[in-house]
Amino acid sequence: MCLKEDQKREEIYLTCDKRSFAMLKSCLTMMCLGYAGGILPSGILETIDHFFSGFPSLPKSPSSQNEIPDYSLPFDFLVIGAGSAGSVLANRLTENPDWRVLVLEQGNDEIFLTDIPFLAPILHSTDYARVYKSEPRPQDANGQGGCCLSMNDGRCKIVSGKAVGGTSVVNFMIYSRGAPADYDAWWALDNPGWSYEDVLPYFIKSERCKLIDRDARYHGYDGYLDVTTPPYATPLKECFLKAGQELGYDLIDYNGDRLVGFSTVQATLRNGHRVSAGKAFLRPIRGRSNFHLSKFSTVTKIVINPRTKTAVGVEFVKDHRTYFVSATKEIILCTGALSSPQLLMLSGIGPKDHLSSLGIRVIENLPVGFNLQDHVSMSALTFLVNESVTIVESRLSSSPASFMEYLIQGTGPWTVPGGAEALAFINTKANLNTTRRKGSKFKSIIQDVNIRGNSEQHAWTVPNITSITVDRDTFETYPNGNRLLTEDDYPDIEILLAVSSLAGDVSGIYLSLLGLTDDFHKEVFSDYEGFDAFTLVPVLLRPKSRGRLTLRSSDPLDSPIVDVNYYDHEDDLNTMVQAIKIAIEVASTRAFKRYNATLLPVPFPGCKHVAFKSDAYWACVARHVSTTIAHYSGTCKMSTRKNSGVVDHRLRVHGIDGLRVADASIMPTIIAGHTTAPAYMIAEKASDMIKEDWKDSVP
Ligand SMILES: Cc1cc2nc3c(=O)[nH]c(=O)nc-3n(C[C@H](O)[C@H](O)[C@H](O)COP(=O)(O)OP(=O)(O)OC[C@H]3O[C@@H](n4cnc5c(N)ncnc54)[C@H](O)[C@@H]3O)c2cc1C
């Protein structure tokens, strides 16, 4: 425990392992002094924080979260989990003043430490995260197969958020919705109302877009969620974007209708600070008298009447006491792709054989926990550079000026979300010559505008698509526009530019987040410790492999068994090999030559027997360094029963009344993007469906 304060004053429990403490100590001297040494009372820091961040401070109204709701009275709606999706639901359902809504959340409120974008990687080792280990998938007797082989105990680290705001409090803040084709595929799986055309308005509804480079048609401007470009970037961002152009890719707004191309990251930030779901969707409504939030409340069971098959309430544990609270209308499960299936199964909804084997009475036999999907990556692809253009931990921590810049101006290196500055979405199977250089009506208009705006532009200039004022009538609106898209426009990999690396990770924070062994780090990076280096992280966007989540026991406090099963399907491995090679191609462009970007010349442990940089070598590396960007989804699949669905297209659990699931678990197939924006969209749409279903009810 490194920080502990009185609970009444929004206390903070930050459990830090040795490494994270080292990082905190070196990087946050000022803040640690403030808290641990008592030099600055937390109230002052909190005020400063709220002042600079521009967020309203927490009202101390009678309805605020500090008051314990009367659980003996029924609520209209119970929302389980105040995470990314749950926060949206709480906000939208309490828009109806006649509905009493109780949100039950296991975690605590976030604090100003979680606001700091560059600190995102450290948060997995605090009380704001829940950390599991995946089931081991060792190689077979012939040395084939397996995943997570270079991780501690051969198990990947499975991180999710435990806070008011959920995983959006610990994530890397990248805002990315996925491809139009993703949602059209959901629709095609017997899910009416979920095509891209159907869901786009819900993305737009949430958003308060402050992006400069954007396709204005696809963004919202009046929502709760700030989406913007990080205010600071190293010179490497521009190198990366130029590298993309050099290779023939366009610079795109990846939340528009064209997914293949290069871009700066779009992130959920305000004044350089994290905007979590809690800040965006809950803080503005804390004064609503019909909104009740119970923190530190672990739901252990959804109580279902086995005769009527109706969900009537939930049991939860708070301060070592067990409570029961009932719902007169509905219970909405928003505990995420790892906890939602767990809670359903604990409550008797799940695969019959599995539940019976644990002595759990089966109420509804459904394929809960199957269809687990994630975006596996390879986060150790390191490139050394010959100038101080990266963010190196030791340099950053010895620069109080940088931290003051963050505090006072909301800019500087601390605002880079987890170190990620730019990304590329690529289709490895596309015919590069035709698709990369292919023009479209949209693109030619952008170029026209840019050329008009800046006649000095040449091939090396990053186009400033800011200058577009979109005349909506000029464009064919979706879906007509989308019909022009082909499979080649649907990315199967992403490459993330991280402007730091495992070489500079002196405190071991990244290593710890990724779950790689100390031996791995020592063997690969010890000769390069503290060097300036960046990482290109190839990510597999459309995995064919499927994992599964099961219960370890009928004890709700036991962690579930998570079998990620990365690279079970050989195609996934082949695509990752291509992704790694393309990332190397990106780093080998003229753009990166400026800093003499050089692939770290060290073969990775476990793969030294294979020719360095050969396809077989990268395949071996992928199975060893099977890192993840933690996009768990799919475990309560939305589809018909016939298609192995757990919830129907209105997110109602098949066969059970009064119970819906609305979070990342319902995605039938993982989207080719990041998963928070879709979680918000799912919750926005769920809220509308619930309002529609109860519109004629008497208060
Ligand atoms: C390190 C990391 C980096 C990431 N980076 C990005 C990124 O940059 N961009 C992006 O789009 N996505 C990112 N993700 C993924 C993304 O954040 C999640 O997919 C998304 O937030 C999931 O939203 P959700 O609503 O489904 O669940 P969550 O946001 O996880 O919400 C679930 C909530 O339920 C609560 N809960 C769980 N069990 C119980 C219980 N029994 N009782 C009461 N409450 C309970 C949890 O505490 C949590 O608050 C990242 C994830 C991680 C871990």
pLDDT in tens, 501-514: 999 998 899 999 99
Question: What is the CB neighbour count within 10 angstroms for residue 15?
Answer: 15
pLDDT score recorded for residue 500:
96
Whether 669 is in the pocket of ligand 1, judged by its Cβ within 6 Å, is no
Average confidence (pLDDT) over 599-603: 98
pLDDT score recorded for residue 433:
54
Q: What angle do helix axes 84-93 and 676-693 make, rounded to 10 degrees?
A: 30
- When pLDDT is cut at 50, 70 and 90, the band that residue 67 belongs to is low
Average confidence (pLDDT) over 513-534: 96
586 and 631 in contact (C-beta within 8 Å)?
no
Q: Whose CA is nearest to atom 41 of ligand 1?
A: 299
Sign of CA dihedral 122, 125, 129, 132: positive
486's CB contacts (< 8 A; 6+ apart) are 435
Q: Which atom of ligand 1 is nearest to the CA of 556?
A: 41
Mutate to test the pocket of ligand 1, among 203, 497, 675 (most ligand atoms within 8 A of CB): 675
Q: Is the pLDDT of residue 605 over 90?
A: yes
In a domain, 31, yes or no: no
* Residue whose tokens read 């252990």: 300
* Catalytic residue IDs: 631, 674
684 and 205 in contact (C-beta within 8 Å)?
yes
pLDDT score recorded for residue 29:
40
Average pLDDT, the chain: 86
Q: Is the pLDDT of residue 436 over 60?
A: no
CA of 131 to the centre of ligand 1 (A): 12
Determine the straight-line distance between the first and last CA of the chain, rounded to whole angstroms: 47
* Residue whose tokens read 């022009």: 484
Whether 266 is in the pocket of ligand 1, judged by its Cβ within 6 Å, is no
CA of 338 to the centre of ligand 1 (A): 9
Mutate to test the pocket of ligand 1, among 20, 114, 160, 647 (most ligand atoms within 8 A of CB): 160
Whether 170 is in the pocket of ligand 1, judged by its Cβ within 6 Å, is yes
Question: What is the CB neighbour count within 10 angstroms for residue 538?
Answer: 30
3-state DSSP assignment of residue 285: helix
pLDDT in tens, 304-357: 999 999 999 999 999 999 999 999 999 999 999 999 999 999 999 999 999 999
- When pLDDT is cut at 50, 70 and 90, the band that residue 486 belongs to is confident
pLDDT score recorded for residue 112:
87
Q: Which atom of ligand 1 is nearest to the CA of 82?
A: 49
Region class of 190: left (phi > 0), else alpha (psi between -120 and 50), else beta = left
pLDDT score recorded for residue 213:
82
Residues in the chain: 699
CA 126 from centre of chain: 17
CA of 126 to the centre of ligand 1 (A): 15
* Residue whose tokens read 């610990």: 170
CA of 161 to the centre of ligand 1 (A): 5
CA 382 from centre of chain: 23
Whether 273 is in the pocket of ligand 1, judged by its Cβ within 6 Å, is no
Q: Whose CA is nearest to atom 20 of ligand 1?
A: 676
678's CB contacts (< 8 A; 6+ apart) are 177, 178, 664, 667, 671
Question: What is the CB neighbour count within 10 angstroms for residue 696?
Answer: 6
* Residue whose tokens read 């979070």: 663
pLDDT in tens, 252-297: 999 998 899 999 999 999 999 999 999 999 999 999 999 999 999 9
In a domain, 88, yes or no: yes
Mutate to test the pocket of ligand 1, among 299, 335, 512, 627 (most ligand atoms within 8 A of CB): 335
Whether 159 is in the pocket of ligand 1, judged by its Cβ within 6 Å, is yes
Nearest to 313 by CA among 297, 302, 329, 298: 302
Q: Is the pLDDT of residue 445 over 70?
A: no
CA of 682 to the centre of ligand 1 (A): 14
In a domain, 551, yes or no: yes
Whether 675 is in the pocket of ligand 1, judged by its Cβ within 6 Å, is yes
- On the 0-12 / 13-18 / 19+ scale of CB atoms within 10 A, 601 is exposed
Q: Is the pLDDT of residue 66 over 60?
A: no
Supply angle C-alpha 469, 473, 479, rounded to 5.
110
Q: Whose CA is nearest to atom 14 of ligand 1?
A: 171
Return the minimum-mean-pLDDT range out of 394-398, 562-566, 593-597, 670-674. 394-398
3-state DSSP assignment of residue 125: helix
The domain in which residue 585 lies consists of 65-694
Strand partners, 314: 302, 325
Whether 178 is in the pocket of ligand 1, judged by its Cβ within 6 Å, is no
Phi, psi of 547 (to 5 degrees): -105, -170
pLDDT score recorded for residue 474:
31
Q: Whose CA is nearest to atom 52 of ligand 1?
A: 171
Rounded CA separation 671/491 (Å): 10
Kindly list the distances between the CA atom of residue 128 and the CA atoms of 124, 565, 578, in Å, as whole numbers in the listed order.
Answer: 7, 26, 36
CA of 175 to the centre of ligand 1 (A): 14
In a domain, 53, yes or no: no
15 and 126 in contact (C-beta within 8 Å)?
yes
DSSP calls for 122-159: GGGGSTTEEEEEBPPB---TTS---B-TTBGGG--EEE
Rounded CA separation 376/364 (Å): 32
Rounded CA separation 186/194 (Å): 6
Whether 334 is in the pocket of ligand 1, judged by its Cβ within 6 Å, is yes
| H or E, element range at 130 | strand 129-133
391 and 118 in contact (C-beta within 8 Å)?
yes
| H or E, element range at 337 | helix 336-346
CA 498 from centre of chain: 16
Whether 83 is in the pocket of ligand 1, judged by its Cβ within 6 Å, is yes
Whether 27 is in the pocket of ligand 1, judged by its Cβ within 6 Å, is no
Considering only the C-alpha atoms of the chain, give the largest distance between any 2 of them, rounded to a whole number of Å.
74
Q: Is the pLDDT of residue 438 over 80?
A: no
341 and 556 in contact (C-beta within 8 Å)?
no
Q: Which atom of ligand 1 is nearest to the CA of 277?
A: 29
- When pLDDT is cut at 50, 70 and 90, the band that residue 150 belongs to is very high
pLDDT score recorded for residue 484:
61
| Structure tokens belonging to residue 145 | 């197969």
Pairing of strands 269-270, 273-274: antiparallel
| H or E, element range at 292 | strand 291-294
Rounded CA separation 379/501 (Å): 9
Rounded CA separation 616/144 (Å): 12
Q: Is the pLDDT of residue 16 over 60?
A: no
CA of 515 to the centre of ligand 1 (A): 19
Q: Which atom of ligand 1 is nearest to the CA of 677?
A: 11
Q: Which atom of ligand 1 is nearest to the CA of 163?
A: 49
Whether 278 is in the pocket of ligand 1, judged by its Cβ within 6 Å, is no
299 is in an annotated binding site: yes
CA of 522 to the centre of ligand 1 (A): 31
Strands (E), 334-455: 349-350, 364-365, 376-377, 382-384, 420-426
CA of 372 to the centre of ligand 1 (A): 15
CA of 681 to the centre of ligand 1 (A): 14
Peptide bond before residue 479 is cis, with ω within 30 degrees of 0:
yes
Mutate to test the pocket of ligand 1, among 79, 84, 109 (most ligand atoms within 8 A of CB): 84
Q: Which atom of ligand 1 is nearest to the CA of 339?
A: 38
pLDDT in tens, 367-409: 999 999 999 999 999 999 999 999 998 899 889 999 999 999 9
In a domain, 487, yes or no: yes
Q: Which atom of ligand 1 is nearest to the CA of 300?
A: 41
CA of 143 to the centre of ligand 1 (A): 35
Q: Which atom of ligand 1 is nearest to the CA of 83?
A: 31
Nearest to 204 by CA among 183, 215, 192, 218: 218
Whether 676 is in the pocket of ligand 1, judged by its Cβ within 6 Å, is yes
Whether 107 is in the pocket of ligand 1, judged by its Cβ within 6 Å, is yes
pTM of the predicted model as reported, rounded to 2 decimal places: 0.88
pLDDT in tens, 613-667: 999 999 999 999 999 999 999 999 999 999 999 999 999 999 999 999 999 999 9
* Residue whose tokens read 């009275």: 73
In a domain, 52, yes or no: no
Q: What is the CATH number of the domain that holds 470?
A: 3.50.50.60
Whether 106 is in the pocket of ligand 1, judged by its Cβ within 6 Å, is yes
- On the 0-12 / 13-18 / 19+ scale of CB atoms within 10 A, 433 is exposed
Mutate to test the pocket of ligand 1, among 132, 157, 167, 331 (most ligand atoms within 8 A of CB): 167
194's CB contacts (< 8 A; 6+ apart) are 183, 186, 187, 638, 649, 685
3-state DSSP assignment of residue 197: helix
Whether 333 is in the pocket of ligand 1, judged by its Cβ within 6 Å, is no
651's CB contacts (< 8 A; 6+ apart) are 638, 660, 661, 662, 666, 682, 686, 689
Whether 335 is in the pocket of ligand 1, judged by its Cβ within 6 Å, is yes
pLDDT score recorded for residue 47:
44
Q: Is the pLDDT of residue 303 over 90?
A: yes
| H or E, element range at 615 | helix 615-624
One-letter amino acid identity for 605? P
167 is in an annotated binding site: yes
Rounded CA separation 106/161 (Å): 10
Tally the domains of the chain.
Answer: 1
| Structure tokens belonging to residue 108 | 């605590």
Rounded CA separation 107/28 (Å): 23
Q: Which atom of ligand 1 is nearest to the CA of 107?
A: 47
90's CB contacts (< 8 A; 6+ apart) are 79, 82, 101, 103, 281, 282, 285, 291, 293
| Structure tokens belonging to residue 662 | 């609305």
3-state DSSP assignment of residue 597: coil
Burial 365-385 (b: 16+ CB within 10 A, else e): bbbbbbbbbbbbbbbbbbbbb
pLDDT score recorded for residue 432:
59
